[in-house]
Structure 1
């Protein structure tokens, strides 16, 4: 078969172009450091690389979310540590106020200090994250959650929403706690709280509530103890009330009712009442409890006799139980924050491990072996040069060179 000069040139140029293209492709691979330049080079590997890249992007996003969640929880933890310190100081002030040698002026001074602590606690409850978002306002984070009303009390203006953040594939975490759950709640295990009636005129003083029988018929209910004619009557606060116990009053002798026991001393007047209620029903607002204590400390004892002293003693007892319950609740929330922060750290460790595994796998799929690529490049370059030289020699062959 005769091969024409035109056909020879066409075939030679095609071969040269193909080799140049292959050499150029190896050059691009070396420059990019990847095995394939387009998905068409290796569709299966390209699909795998895309999936791994997406997984790595998701991992990076979750890591960023965990970082923001950790910051939010850290800010809340700092605020609650301040609240804990303030409440501990209040408990110390209450102990000081129980000193019988203090004068009315001394107690008024303690009331001023307690008011300052109350203001500090409200400021902590209205703490923000530095960007104008209040930590304990729930979903209403643009406004301060605790606001003073016309009567001087502190009202919660937020809601009970918790801001959630997706910190892993199947894990959403609350990064905030609402103010009502923190400062106006008690734990389920909080015990009974005793308090004296506002209209009492006697000198009856109650002690701590003791538990004697948690299986008693009326255990868990709220009670009212009333005095008349030297006798006491304990009734539940149901509708209608049920008599839980009755008998003659003897100072210093415990009164038993509903699986509970309350020791009382002094001389209650006819018509005096005392409430023994579960912590949830006795008033869970720590700000209100502090306000009541401030009012009690400002009330002079001079000229009030035993009745005034009894009022102060009972107010201090009630406050001590309520501030302890509030303090325990804040500690529980703080513990919950610590648990969430520990979980984030564990997720960060696992996420970093997964990210490294994915990165290594992606490297196996995409990354070019430099030694192999350089060797291929040199081979193709040598082959191209040889082809070019062969073409040049054949091109110079002509019959006229031999005449």
Structure 2
């Protein structure tokens, strides 16, 4: 069979072109360290690689979210640490103010110190994150959550929203706590708070309220203790009131009612009254409690006698319990923040492990075997060179060489 010169050239050029393409493909694989250059090379492998790459992107995004969440929680934790220090300082000053030997001037100095701590507390409550977003304002983070009122106190103008961040596939974590929960709330386990009426004229001073029977019928209700010249009457604050206990005034004997008891020292005057309320109903605003404490310390006792001293002691006792309840509440929130940060650390460890697994799987799909690829490269190169040499040799053959 005769082979025309044109066909000879076409077939050889086509063969060399195909071999050059195969060699170039191996070179690209070596350059990219990938088994396939397009989805058509391995459709199943390409689909698996795409899914794994998307999973790695999600893992990376969750890691970034956890980093931001950890930073937000760290900022809140630092602020709450400051709050606990301030409240502990106020409690210390309150105890010092209860010393019966100090003067009005000394109490005024303590009131000034507590007022300074109060101002610090307001400042921390209005802390921002450095980007103009207030930590304890809930969703209204663009403006300070606590503003001064005409009466000299502060009012919470934020909301009770919690900013959530997706830190893992099935975990949305709150990265903030609102100011009302921190500064105007108490824990459900907080006990009773006793307080004296402002109109009291006697020398009665109450002691701590202790629980004697948490299953008593009236336990958990709020009470009012009213004294006459010889007797006391305890009524609930229900509508209508219910008499919970009554009896003669006996010195150094606790008064029991509603599963709790309280002891009085001194002599209450006829008409004096005292409230014994649950912590939730006794006033949970720590700023208001501190403000009342400052007012009590700035009230001179000179000329007031034992009745004025009793009124101060009762005010200090009430303030101390309220500040303690607020302190315990902040510690609970602080513990929650610490738990969330620990959870982020655990999620980071799990995310890093998943990332290694996904990267290993992606590598098994995409990565090129360098030894096989190099061997194939030299094989393709040798084959192309042999074809080129053969074509050159055959191209030089002519009948004129044999005449």
TM-score normalised by L of structure 1: 0.99
Describe the SS at the equivalent of 1:9: helix
How far apart in 1 are the matches of 2:295 and 2:253? 30
How far apart in 1 are the matches of 2:43 and 2:142? 51
1:250 is aligned to 250
Q: CA deviation at 1:53?
A: 0.5
- Please give the per-residue CA displacement for 1:360-393, whole angstroms capped at 9, x wherever unaligned: 1111111222222111111111100100111111
2:68 aligned with 1:64: no
Describe the SS at the equivalent of 1:373: helix
5 Å matches for 1:322-361? Answer: 322-361=322-361
Describe the SS at the equivalent of 1:48: helix
1:195 is aligned to 195
5 Å matches for 1:26-41? Answer: 26-41=26-41
Describe the SS at the equivalent of 2:76: helix
- Taking only aligned residues, the RMSD between alpha carbons, in angstroms, comes to 0.9
Describe the SS at the equivalent of 1:299: coil
Q: CA deviation at 1:229?
A: 2.8
1:320 is aligned to 320
5 Å matches for 1:211-290? Answer: 211-290=211-290
2:298 is aligned to 298
- Please give the per-residue CA displacement for 1:257-279, whole angstroms capped at 9, x wherever unaligned: 00111101211112111000000
Moved over 3 A (4+): none
How far apart in 2 are the matches of 1:205 and 1:18? 104
5 Å matches for 1:350-389? Answer: 350-389=350-389
How far apart in 1 are the matches of 2:153 and 2:269? 31
- Please give the per-residue CA displacement for 1:92-146, whole angstroms capped at 9, x wherever unaligned: 1011001111000000000000000000111111111010100000000011111
2:139 is aligned to 139
Describe the SS at the equivalent of 2:166: strand
How far apart in 1 are the matches of 2:265 and 2:100? 17
Describe the SS at the equivalent of 2:365: helix
**Structure 2 unaligned spans of 5+:** none
Q: CA deviation at 1:254?
A: 0.6
How far apart in 1 are the matches of 2:196 and 2:173? 43
2:181 aligned with 1:181: yes
**Structure 1 unaligned spans of 5+:** none
How far apart in 1 are the matches of 2:130 and 2:304? 50
Q: Which deviates more, 332-341 or 196-205?
A: 196-205
1:155 is aligned to 155
Q: Which deviates more, 157-166 or 387-396?
A: 387-396
Q: Which deviates more, 166-175 or 34-43?
A: 34-43
1:166 is aligned to 166
Q: CA deviation at 1:359?
A: 1.0
1:310 is aligned to 310
- Please give the per-residue CA displacement for 1:182-235, whole angstroms capped at 9, x wherever unaligned: 011000000000000111111111000111111111000000001123211000
2:100 is aligned to 100
How far apart in 2 are the matches of 1:262 and 1:133? 46
How far apart in 2 are the matches of 1:67 and 1:352? 13
5 Å matches for 1:12-51? Answer: 12-51=12-51
